[in-house]
Structure 1
Amino acid sequence: MSLRLSTVILPYRRWHEGSRSAWVRAEELGFHAGYTYDHLSWRSFRDGPWFGAVPTLTAAAGVTERMRLGTLVTSPNFRHPVTLAKELISLDDISGGRVTLGIGAGGTGFDATALGQEPWTPRERADRLAEFVPLLDRLLTEDAVSYEGDFYAAHEARNIPGCVQRPRLPFAVAATGPRGLRLAARYGQAWVTTGDPKLYEEGTPEQSVQAIRGQVDKLADACAGIGRDVTELDKILLTGFTPDRSRPLESLDAFVDFAGRHVELGFTEIVLHWPIPDSDFAADQKVFERIAMEAPAQLR
């Protein structure tokens, strides 16, 4: 399988002031998928404009025809499986079956306290994700669901007619710990990583590749534990969080070198942040577009 390139377009601009044109251009450039973050706000963008993921993806579905669309990633921090399922089924219908749900445990950022709760511990986040994903799987595949769990409940929740994609839209599970990797193995059509966050500040690119290789090996073990072939899962790398930072976007050759090292680890999709001036995701738009158009052929 040849490497797919995708992009993540952050929802920090009004739709008619740059956001719409970015989604249209992403499809013109041939990206496999266009994703967006599913947050209420995010890091350095907290005090500026920030729009909702599902409405943004719905609008993107209306101005694109081929490119897949998705969240990277949704978490239980402010979502409930019952309401999320209804929104996803609607988005899958509007887009003609082009939606992928990226989903993970979430973190301790602004989403974690926006509803007035204390931030959950890593274990609490893992506990909730372990209940959230199986319930969402049922809600997207069954006409009616009743369920009573430790964190979530559903009472005769109706989701007719279900997803356009059958048996449901694909899950891309973001995980590096053992419990999350087991969820990815059992419920995922893809697995997502950003690398090892402990290496972000002072690690080397070589250490990062080694750490990611270890994650891939643990994913294979999780798959083997349930009798699944790990090659059945797409492996997605969301860039921008490894020690390389923005260096892979400095030139076509730099990106091809970076991507090639990860293709060797089994990655099938690499996701690039759409350039945002004066941010962690600043990059030359012309170089970015050249990478989008020329790198896939060099990586076949």
Structure 2
Amino acid sequence: MRVSELGIYVPQIVSEFAPLLDIARTAERTGFDQLWLFDHLWSPGLPDHPSLEAWTTATALLTATTTLRVGALVLCNNFRHPVVLGRMATTLDVISGGRVEFGLGSGSIRDEHTRTGLAWGSAAERAGRLGEALEIITSMFARERTTFAGAHYRVDEVANVPGPVQRPRPPIHIGGAGPKYTLPLVARYADVWNIPTYGLPDQRRLSGLLDAECERIGRDPADIRRSHQAVLALAADERELPEVEARARRHFGADAFALDEGYVGTPSMVADQLAERAEQGLDAVIFMVGAKQAAATMELFAAEVAPRLPR
């Protein structure tokens, strides 16, 4: 077995577009399948720090590349009405020739909601809004007109013409590890379940819970691809490894990044780790890399890790 898709996650905490474009073109040239952004109004906890808005950035990157797929892990449902978001995703899929990856979540940072007057609410309320949004958007991807009446949204004969290029729809990614609210939505709506860094230590148990939820609603668990998000800190050789690992711990040392469950090592070490994860049923890996190290890391990965991976 092998990991079939490789992505790079680079939060757009920059003041200019050019560095991100360089990263995207490097990803495309070095054989990465996807580039992922974050969807926050500003860098979490750093409202005065430069950062670029996700949807605008994704549009610019897709129009400046030819094969790279682009998405956000994940778009915040509370920032955009689901009909507006469905139209945006459909339009960008048309513009890009079918290269949109559609990730959607319930929102994770309370502060950016309260500062801007956007609806927040309990986890149950946010999950309810997300479920209704997914019902509306999946209908818009599949049909020319959508009608829906729920507790949070009501839409009547909403048109979505033309539809998306990708059929049956742009891949829907739902990320998270919550068994009470997130996994039921994954089972019902997702094409891809993304396990974020904080869920890596519990990956096997969570995967079993998702399988059980799929069986409960009558969906084949094999229909949902499994991906995970993990830090990549790649050293050219053993001599360089201590410095690379120390830098990774400075940047990704918080428990939420689960660095010890990520990919830290030389090319042969990382290739072995990826092969092991593939045997555990993982379909895709999305590597988290800082913007300053991204291009060099992808170049080294393409030259030294990719040739070692099973084909």
SS at match of 1:18: helix
Q: Which residue does 2:133 correspond to in 1?
A: 132
* 1:232 aligns to 2:223 (yes or no): yes
Contact (CA 8 Å) 1:7, 1:272: kept in 2 or not?
yes
Note the C-alpha offset of 1:135: 1.3
- What is the RMSD computed on CA atoms of the aligned residues? 2.4
Deviations 1:238-283 (A, max 9, x none): 1134422696244323433443443232111111124234xxxxx5
Q: Which residue does 1:185 correspond to in 2?
A: 187
Which one-letter code corresponds to 2:195 in the other structure? T
Contact (CA 8 Å) 1:7, 1:274: kept in 2 or not?
yes
Which one-letter code corresponds to 2:82 in the other structure? P
Specify which of 193, 196, 199 is matched with residue 194 of structure 1: 196
Residues 1-300 of structure 1 aligned to structure 2 (within 5 Å): 2-3=2-3, 4-117=5-118, 119-178=120-179, 179-196=181-198, 208-209=200-201, 211-240=202-231, 241-244=256-259, 248-277=263-292, 283=293, 286-300=296-310
Deviations 1:109-136 (A, max 9, x none): 4433243146322222222112111111
- What CA distance in whole angstroms lies between the structure 2 residues aligned with 1:114 and 1:250? 41
TM superposition score normalised by structure 1: 0.85
Note the C-alpha offset of 1:27: 0.5
Contact (CA 8 Å) 2:103, 2:173: kept in 1 or not?
yes
- What CA distance in whole angstroms lies between the structure 2 residues aligned with 1:246 and 1:89? 35
- Provide structure 2 residue ranges, at least 5 long, that are not aligned to the other structure: 232-255
- Provide structure 1 residue ranges, at least 5 long, that are not aligned to the other structure: 198-207, 278-282
- What CA distance in whole angstroms lies between the structure 1 residues aligned with 2:41 and 2:302? 29
Number of aligned residue pairs:
284
Contact (CA 8 Å) 1:72, 1:103: kept in 2 or not?
yes
Go from structure 1 to structure 2 and tell me whether the alpha carbon gap of 1:65 and 1:127 turns closer, same or farther (over 3 Å shift). Answer: same
Go from structure 1 to structure 2 and tell me whether the alpha carbon gap of 1:47 and 1:169 turns closer, same or farther (over 3 Å shift). Answer: same
SS at match of 2:151: coil
Note the C-alpha offset of 1:93: 0.7
- What CA distance in whole angstroms lies between the structure 1 residues aligned with 2:226 and 2:112? 26
Note the C-alpha offset of 1:94: 1.0
- What CA distance in whole angstroms lies between the structure 1 residues aligned with 2:94 and 2:187? 26
Go from structure 1 to structure 2 and tell me whether the alpha carbon gap of 1:137 and 1:45 turns closer, same or farther (over 3 Å shift). Answer: same
- Identity between Structure 1 and Structure 2 (%): 28
